[in-house]
Amino acid sequence: MTVSDLRPGPDAPLPKRVAVLSFHTSPLAQPGTGDAGGLNVYVLQTARRLARRGVEVEIFTRATHSSQPPVEEAGDGVLVRSIVAGPFEGLRKEDLPTQLCPFVAGVMRAEAGQAPGHYDLIHSHYWLSGQAGLVASEHWGVPLVHTAHTLAEVKNAVLTSGDTPEPESRRIGEQQIVDAAHRLVVNTTGERDELVGYYDADPADIDIVPPGADLEQYTPGTRRGTEQARRALGVAQRSEVIAFVGRIQPLKAPDVVVRALAEIVRAEPHRDVRLLVVGGPSGSGLERPRSLMELAEELGVAERVSFLAPRPPSELVDVYRAADIVAVPSYSESFGLVALEAQACGTPVVAAAVGGLPTAVANGRTGLTVDGHDPREWARVLGSLLDDDELRLEMSRHAPVHAAEFSWDSTADGLLASYAGTMASYRARRAAATAS
């Protein structure tokens, strides 16, 4: 069902307290480096919005620093519980499955210290959390809602040079979750179709709830504000600016934008065009953390590329406002929050036509989508949009209007409706089983 179809009835049960599982990355981590990204933003923002609606949310994650307190507040009604599971540092993402057992044990201990029925529902994020959620759901007698965010079958289908395939153990784990979870929540119809096609999921068990953007934080800037943002970033006012925001790893394809920049410069050497890369190495990108810098040097555009560290929303908004275009060239994206945030700031987006990006970007109206990842085609699209001031201005006007259709408040409403339906069907099945 789509979010517009998710409407709980007047007697539908709503959860009082939800346990959210985010095993492999903390919602308090800075997005853009390590394993922190859109999932972190999703978990934290939806938790805060659910709390505003009277639902207490407790987020379970793995502790990554010895100084971390076991429990932290992440807003009114939102607690983050950091469970010690394995070494605090130096544990690769590929090795995280070995720490699922201690993580599950820590989650179970936390629940055991509460009154019976403390949690009404579990919402797990990513396949590792889903595995933990299967155990907790069985022991607590509450339904499990799962959001995959990314899928092994989909990532392997678009594997790019320099990236490593997802292991078979992950695919098997995802299949187990799809078969056993009481509800699957996805971002788009395309993601629903991938679950059905690759994992034989039942469409009736899938709810479509698009993610959102923080529309209070990400807003269009004034001309003076844009000038100030450029000064703060060390960018000349007359420069043409392309921005890439995200983790530096092959899947996100930042190299495509660097190569496209080189193509633009090769055709017009005197053109004053620059690229801002905001993010840190992640995943297989950790093996060669300087590879993107080396590529820029090799292509002769190093002086035109600025590498900036990941930054909080209060500073990231300046990057979006300073850019003429934000590029999202990923090989796979379940949705693409960067595209939404940029448009909320009034910046047109050029994005790969993959995953949820064609939904996040209104092609021809708020930005452009590109088929494939040929740097020459990306150079042509980026260059033509930079050349067309009138079209960019029109897209800048439409972009915030389009982004306003997606908000975290709307996402929270969709999740609440999905939770209510899941709890109602779960209780009905249990009652029927008891009666028989």
Any idea where the domains of the chain sit in the sequence? 3-212+407-435, 223-403
Q: 219 is written with which tokens?
A: 């807003």
38 annotated as belonging to a binding site for a ligand: yes
pLDDT of residue 33: 65
User: Per the structure block, which two tokens stand in for 192?
Assistant: 């629903």
What angle, 0 to 180 degrees and rounded to 10, lies between the N-to-C axes of helices 127-140 and 168-180? Answer: 40
Is 40 assigned a ligand-binding role in the annotation?
A: yes
Please tell me whether 300 is known to bind a ligand. Answer: no
Per the annotation, does 376 bind a ligand?
Answer: no
Q: Phi and psi dihedrals of 164, rounded to 5?
A: -110, 140
Residue 168 in this model has a pLDDT that exceeds 70 = yes
Q: Is 79 helix (H, G, I), strand (E, B) or coil?
A: strand
Of 315, 311, 305, 293, nearest to 248 by C-alpha is 293
Residue 4's pLDDT is 46
State the average pLDDT over residues 367-378: 98
pLDDT at residue number 35: 73
> How many other CB atoms are found less than 10 A from the CB of residue 167?
13
Pick the CATH number of 3-212+407-435 from 3.40.50.2000, 3.40.50.1360, 3.30.360.10, 3.40.1710.10: 3.40.50.2000
Position of tokens 């050029």? 350
**pLDDT in the model for residue 334:** 85
Mean per-residue pLDDT, 385-411 = 97
* 252 marked as binding residue: yes
User: How long a stretch of residues is the chain?
Assistant: 436
Cα(227)–Cα(201) distance, rounded to whole angstroms? 50
Cα dihedral sign, 326-332-338-342: positive
pLDDT value for 285: 46
Query: Counting beta carbons within 10 angstroms of the beta carbon of residue 411, is it exposed (0 to 12), middle (13 to 18) or buried (19 or more)?
Result: buried
CA distance between the termini of the chain: 30
Q: Is 216 labeled as ligand-binding? A: no
Question: What is residue 10's predicted lDDT score, i.e. its pLDDT?
Answer: 56
Residue 247 assigned ligand-binding role? yes
Q: Is 329 annotated as a binding residue?
A: no
Residue 30 in marked binding region: yes
Share of the chain above pLDDT 70, in %: 95
**Mean pLDDT over residues 121-145, rounded?**
97
pLDDT given at position 409: 96
Of all residues in the chain, what percent are helix, strand and coil, respectively (each to 5)? Answer: 45, 15, 35
The CB density around residue 10, as the number of other CB atoms within 10 Å, is 4
**Ramachandran assignment for 149, one of left (phi > 0), alpha (psi -120 to 50 degrees), beta (any other):** left
The per-residue pLDDT for range 248-285, each reduced to its tens digit, is: 989 899 999 999 999 999 999 999 999 999 998 865 54
111 alpha-carbon distance from chain centroid: 28
Per-residue tokens: 81: 């519980």
In 3D space, the residue among 312, 369, 359 whose CA is nearest the CA of residue 336 turns out to be 359
66: alpha, beta or left? (left if phi > 0; alpha if psi -120 to 50): alpha
Is residue 65 part of an annotated ligand binding site? no
Banded pLDDT at 2 (limits 50, 70, 90): low
Computed over every residue of the chain, the mean pLDDT equals 92
Q: Which helix (H) or strand (E) holds 277?
A: strand 273-278
CB 190 within 8 A of CB 354: no
Between 425 and 36, where is the model more confident?
Answer: 425
Q: Is 333 annotated as a binding residue?
A: yes
- Do residues 174 and 201 touch, judged by C-beta distance below 8 A? no
pLDDT at residue number 92 = 81
List pLDDT tens digits, range 99-112: 999 999 999 999 99
Q: What is the mean pLDDT of residues 201-225?
A: 95
Comparison of pLDDT for 39 and 31, the residue scoring more = 39
Q: Is 425 exposed, middle or buried (0-12, 13-18, 19+ CB in 10 A)?
A: middle
Residue-wise pLDDT tens digits, 181-195: 999 999 999 999 999
Sign of torsion over alpha carbons 87, 88, 90, 95: positive
According to the annotation, is 182 in a ligand binding site? Answer: no
Burial of 118 (0-12, 13-18, 19+ CB in 10 A): middle
Helix (H, G, I), strand (E, B) or coil at 418: helix
Q: Is 61 annotated to bind ligand? A: no
Tell me whether residue 33 is annotated as binding: no
Q: State the DSSP code for 213.
A: B
| Residue 383 marked in a binding site | no
The alpha carbon torsion through 163, 169, 171, 173 (nearest 10 deg) reads -140
Assess whether the region 3-212+407-435 and the region 223-403 belong to the same CATH fold.
yes
Residue 126 is assigned to a ligand binding site: yes
- Assigned fold of 223-403: Rossmann fold (3.40.50)
266 known member of a binding site = no
Is the model's pLDDT at 288 over the cut of 60? no
Q: Token match 């850019």: residue? A: 323
- pLDDT score recorded for residue 282: 64
Q: Of 19-33, 105-119, 281-295, where does mean pLDDT reach its minimum? A: 281-295
What average pLDDT does the segment 382-388 reach?
98
Q: How many CB atoms lie within 10 A of CB 329?
A: 25
31 is in an annotated binding site: yes
> In the prediction, which pLDDT does 31 show?
76
CA dist 336 and 346 (Å) reads: 16
Confirm if 45 and 5 have CB atoms less than 8 A apart: no
Beginning with the edge strand found earlier in the chain, give each strand of the sheet holding 71-73 in spatial order: 71-73, 78-83, 56-62, 17-21, 121-125, 144-147, 183-186, 206-208
The pLDDT of residue 3 is above 60? no
What's the pLDDT tens digit per position in 136-145?
999 999 999 9
| Bridge partners, residue 346, by sequence | none
Q: What are phi and psi of 49, to 5 degrees?
A: -70, -35
Residue 228 marked as a ligand binder: no
24 is in an annotated binding site: yes
Q: Is the pLDDT score of 98 beyond 60?
A: yes
Closest CA relative to residue 46, chosen from 34, 37, 55? 55
